[in-house]
Structure 1
Amino acid sequence: MSGHDVLIVGSGPGGYVAAIRAAQLGLKVGLIERAHLGGICLNWGCIPTKAMLKGTDLLCEAGHATRFGLHPLSPAIDPVRLVARAQEVSTQLSAGIAFLLKKNGVDLIWGSARLAGGGRVEVTAAEVAGPRGALGPGTYAAPHIILATGASPRRLPGLDPDGHLVWTYMQALRPQAVPQRLIVVGSGAIGVEFASIYAAMGAQVTIVELAARILPQEDAEISGLMAKALQKRGIALHTGVSVARLDRQAESLTAHLSDGTAISADRLLSAAGVVPNVSGLGLEALGVVLAHGAVQTDGAGRTNVPGLYAIGDLAGAPMLAHKAEHDGIACVEAIAGRAPRGHGPIPGCIYASPQIASVGLTEEQAQEQGTAVRIGRFSLRGNGKALVLGEPDGLVKCVFDAASDRLIGAQIIGAEASELIHGMTIAVTLGATSEQLASVVFPHPTLSEALHEAVMAAREGAIHA
């Protein structure tokens, strides 16, 4: 039995951040992990996909070398090296987490965890060897137990992954070769990002989406622009349909869609989102309440079982790393007796080509709530920096509450959208008005000027539109 103040199960963005913050607050912390320090995000999700996207972005830029005054280039993707670099980045970051845990006095416990009741956690041997110095199997106890077990790929009926013909994102991240033809089922962030990666690597990509449009959770106008951008790159889109039947051959497959269309391919990526990892933790025996497949919690991660908390993907949507980090900090600060830490709207980013980023309400969501809105739009074709970068296709969209003049949402598609959205996130969180934002001076020449122009478009009018 251990004498920890807090035990945390899972070392992803929510878990390791919670562990470090708890240690900073003077709590004795044990962090339990069974496979990958840094979790799925660092090892199989956010980080490696972005490393691969950087490689394919460079490939696309090299294809337009003459536009920038260079002699024509003829680069080619080396899939093995591309994957190796993604793994190198993940390994470096994982080592950094190990260092931070040690620096802050966090006990790393290596193994599979199961709740035993009474503030106890049974840890059994993991299949993967742990880092040097990690504690091993045994019974650990603490008055506060935080579950941060993340999520796994959603499995669709008839599309069970086999690791060969039918992939999850794990196989898509480490291909032995680039398939000539790839079907991507699902057009959320995961699906669109991988479609973008594999199209850049030369695959003939087809996206199949059950909803009436791709990226159904995004603003409809932004979704439409992304659809045009993907089709321009040769990616085929089938929306409003599902895979009714899948015929698997030795090295190929045929997807029969619900509208009667048959599509042949070499591989199929099932990218229909993720589901919280609730199995195998012993939640049922403790009577932990679930809601929509996730653990039900309050604003500080508390479950219905005293002393038990859940954060990140396990606690439900939005299933994003930065949301998990904020959950972890808020949870341990509440345990330490700090005042409740709230949060504003959580931004979301899609790292395809082009990028998409959004925060707050879309135009459609605001209207569904009965809110009268004023919209500001600005095309990146009027932005000097976007023209310099050779990426003029894009749009910044601002959604203002017409009555209060406050910014309640923003959406961006185009170059560096993920880096630009933080400005709008701050504005939405602080309740900034269009009048206040119009008085902000943006540096020139920058992509960020487009934010100011979109604000102005909602007022008297953008200058460069």
Structure 2
Amino acid sequence: MAMTCDVAILGGGTGGYVAAIRAAQLGKDVVIIEQDKLGGTCLHRGCIPSKSLLRSAEVFAEMKESESFGIEADGVRLSFPKVQKRKENIVEKLHKGVQYLMHKNKIRVVHGQGRVIGPSIFSPRSGAVAVELADGEMETVVPAHLIIATGSKPRNLPGFEPDGKYIMTSDHALMMEELPASIVIVGGGVIGVEWASMLNDFGVEVTLIEASAQLLPAEDEEIGKEMNRLLSKRGIKVLTGAELLTETYEVKDNQVQLMVKHGGEEHRLISDKLLISVGRIGNADNIGLENTDVRVENGLIVVNEFMQTTEPHIYAIGDVIGGLQLAHAATHEGVTAVNHLAGEAPMKYRKEWTPRCVYTRPEAASVGITEKEALKRGYEIKTGKFPFSANGKALVYGMNEGFVKIITDQATNDILGVHMIGPHVTELIGEAALAQVLDATPWEVGSMIHAHPTLSEILGEASLAIDGIATGI
């Protein structure tokens, strides 16, 4: 007997379960199909556990530096098992919260591996989902609309086979029972720099390798340069523009050895672990898309501005469609898809309104486009920049490095991009994102009364700096 519903969601990650809640709010009968735990990568193998570890690392680093605040704390020690236990407790608490939300909104959850099937006795069109349950039994879910939210997995690097012992992905690293003495991290994007910052704060010797000319290649060039400077200042060895010579890789004497070409010279790197963080790939394989007319390009599902695939009753959201591959992007896409299928005339998803955050020490955050991209698009630009070294609250916190940079269109005064690196900027970016949604000008942001002393003052000062009228320096 088939299970029918208005909306079925293949994948119970952040985008999937938020889409399910929104559909339930609109009176839809909803089924989520999830092969693992509700919450997906973000909750169990990404955002939440990694940020928990980053926070523990940050606290440990601050305690070791407490003397600069006039506090002498002797014998500060790290208990990594307790760090991991704290992480697990946070994840489990949030997991229970998601389960409660499913119950509260009367959303049915089918645990099993789902594959989309073509026209059959259950439905005259593709989009039904055959689910293999844990006990080996089969269940068929037949929805009026299907939302594919199958997420992504770490991308492998040719020549390296992650084993979890010597060669790790971020999935493996999150489960480490003890810290290595040394590690080489391949990939200087968001995941790579976060792990570099965290492990350095935990006392691990870190080497960070990036093939591009800058760290955080997708971010503004000045942010990448400042991140390089600040991580290097902390003792992290950063090699940008580096080529990994994969054929030299070997495990010898319980250590990973390989060669890297950097600055025209070859360098031998020896470490206890090698962490591969070269991006993520969408989970579009083995989910039955060959049974549909859904278009897939370069391993990603193609959708329109409302998240519709080439089969109008099938939608796709989150990492499986590419884009920014962020949890909050997936949730927005999920709500957009549900509103559209329900005839609610949704606001179109705009990538450039989506904040991007890096939870290193210090943090980085941005919204909109980079200076390089603005010039490439033909804009005549004006920029404003203000340093945290001139912000009173940053000095009070003892975290006064970094800056805020704002890029505007000289012709219209529209804000094109806001780029930050410094203390707690992942919280400050919200004001910048709101300014873009409301189409605020830098003068309007600068005229807003920011409380003093606060870190948020820096956004007002950077806005005024565009016209040379910042008062803080």
| Global fold match (TM > 0.5) | yes
SS of the residue corresponding to residue 4 of structure 1 reads strand
The ranges of structure 1 where at least 4 consecutive aligned residues each deviate by more than 6 angstroms after the TM superposition are: none
Q: Matches of 1:438 and 1:418 in 2, distance apart?
A: 19
Letter in 2 for 1:156: L
Q: Quote the residue 2:275 is aligned against.
A: 269
Q: Does residue 1:251 correspond to 2:254, yes or no?
A: yes
Q: Does residue 1:417 correspond to 2:425, yes or no?
A: yes
> What is the TM-score with the length of structure 1 in the denominator?
0.96
Deviations 1:179-232 (A, max 9, x none): 111000001110000111111111110011111111111111111111011001
Contact 1:35–1:126 under 8 Å retained in 2: no
Q: Does residue 1:309 correspond to 2:315, yes or no?
A: yes
Q: Quote the residue 2:117 is aligned against.
A: 116
Contact 1:110–1:137 under 8 Å retained in 2: no
Q: Quote the residue 1:28 is aligned against.
A: 29
Q: Quote the residue 1:2 is aligned against.
A: 3
1:250–1:108 distance in 2 versus 1, CA, 3 Å? farther
Which is worse superposed, 170-179 or 411-420? 170-179
Q: Quote the residue 1:19 is aligned against.
A: 20
Q: Could you list the runs of 5+ residues in structure 2 that have no partner in the other structure?
A: 119-124
SS of the residue corresponding to residue 52 of structure 2 reads helix
Q: Quote the residue 1:397 is aligned against.
A: 405
Q: Quote the residue 1:351 is aligned against.
A: 359
Q: Does residue 1:300 correspond to 2:310, yes or no?
A: no
Q: CA RMSD in A?
A: 1.4
Deviation at 1:433, TM superposition (A): 1.1
Q: Matches of 1:36 and 1:272 in 2, distance apart?
A: 25
Q: Matches of 1:252 and 1:226 in 2, distance apart?
A: 28
Letter in 2 for 1:23: A
> What is the TM-score with the length of structure 2 in the denominator?
0.94
**Percentage of matched positions with identical amino acids:** 37
Which is worse superposed, 196-205 or 61-70? 61-70
Deviation at 1:170, TM superposition (A): 1.1
Letter in 1 for 2:197: S
Q: Matches of 2:134 and 2:156 in 1, distance apart?
A: 24
1:73–1:65 distance in 2 versus 1, CA, 3 Å? farther
1:319 to 325, 332, 336: 325
Q: Quote the residue 1:156 is aligned against.
A: 157
Q: Matches of 2:172 and 2:75 in 1, distance apart?
A: 28
Deviation at 1:11, TM superposition (A): 0.8
1:284 to 279, 290, 293: 290
Which is worse superposed, 319-328 or 437-446? 437-446
Deviation at 1:137, TM superposition (A): 4.1
Deviations 1:243-265 (A, max 9, x none): 21211235211121244211001
Q: Quote the residue 1:143 is aligned against.
A: 144
SS of the residue corresponding to residue 5 of structure 1 reads strand
1:305–1:250 distance in 2 versus 1, CA, 3 Å? farther
Q: Does residue 1:197 correspond to 2:198, yes or no?
A: yes
SS of the residue corresponding to residue 4 of structure 2 reads coil
Deviation at 1:394, TM superposition (A): 1.4
Deviation at 1:287, TM superposition (A): 3.4
Which is worse superposed, 350-359 or 336-345? 336-345
Q: Quote the residue 2:57 is aligned against.
A: 56
Q: Matches of 1:311 and 1:77 in 2, distance apart?
A: 40
Q: Quote the residue 1:235 is aligned against.
A: 236
Deviations 1:352-392 (A, max 9, x none): 11100000011111111110111100000110000000000
Letter in 2 for 1:356: A
Q: Matches of 2:226 and 2:453 in 1, distance apart?
A: 25
Letter in 2 for 1:304: T
The equivalences for 1:425-444 within 5 A come to 425-444=433-452
SS of the residue corresponding to residue 339 of structure 1 reads coil
Deviation at 1:12, TM superposition (A): 0.8
Q: Quote the residue 1:132 is aligned against.
A: none
Deviations 1:248-296 (A, max 9, x none): 2352111212442110010000000101001110112323211232100
Q: Quote the residue 1:342 is aligned against.
A: 348
Q: Matches of 2:29 and 2:70 in 1, distance apart?
A: 59
Contact 2:185–2:192 under 8 Å retained in 1: yes
Q: Quote the residue 1:133 is aligned against.
A: none
Q: Quote the residue 2:122 is aligned against.
A: none
Q: Matches of 2:390 and 2:441 in 1, distance apart?
A: 24
SS of the residue corresponding to residue 399 of structure 1 reads strand
